[in-house]
Amino acid sequence: MSSQALQQPTTTAADEAAIRALYQQMMDAWNKGSGEAYAAPFAEDGDLIGFDGTHFKGRQEIAPFHQRLFETHLKGTRLVGQVTSIRFLSPDVALMHAVGGTVMRGKSASSPERDSIQTLVATKRGGLWLLAAFQNTRVRPIGRNLAGTLVWMLSDWLWKVCRPKK
């Protein structure tokens, strides 16, 4: 047997479906406005990095924060998205990429400023797939055109000037 064959993770279609289901479970929970259900696909010690760089450690931080959002700023919003790839790093670890967006209340589609690229790591523990990590990054390309670059530079400068001081 070649060393390459030994390095290939052993996975099944059921594993991939279970991982895809975690992403759908998050979207369904968002669309119901449930912080508890949104945190449920995460491992107890899972990490979530929000689009603004905020780091949440574990379901006990993810759930209440999102519940407050669902009751205030994001009330009535819908999350839309799709998994773009899943790559198994080992039989019990998978890297998933997705694209997503938020449909604001009263709108029928997400707007480009709310589009994100998401990176998720799923791990299989005791036969169950859970999210170990989720990184949500807003799409803000720099250098594609002058206007976009200037907006990026302005927002970067504003962050430096107005950010909370430690």
Question: Is 161 domain-assigned?
Answer: no
Question: Is 33 domain-assigned?
Answer: yes
* pTM of the complete model: 0.81
Number of domains forming the structure of the chain: 1
CA-angle at 145, arms to 139 and 148, nearest 5°: 45
Q: What is the CATH number of the domain that holds 36?
A: 3.10.450.50
Domain limits at 101? Answer: 3-141
- The one-digit pLDDT tens for each residue of the chain (166 residues) are 444 545 556 678 999 999 999 999 999 999 999 999 999 999 999 999 998 889 999 999 999 999 999 999 999 999 999 999 999 999 999 999 999 999 999 999 887 777 899 999 999 999 999 999 999 988 866 666 777 677 667 766 776 777 777 6
Question: Is 152 domain-assigned?
Answer: no
Four-residue CA torsion sign, 39, 17, 102, 137: positive
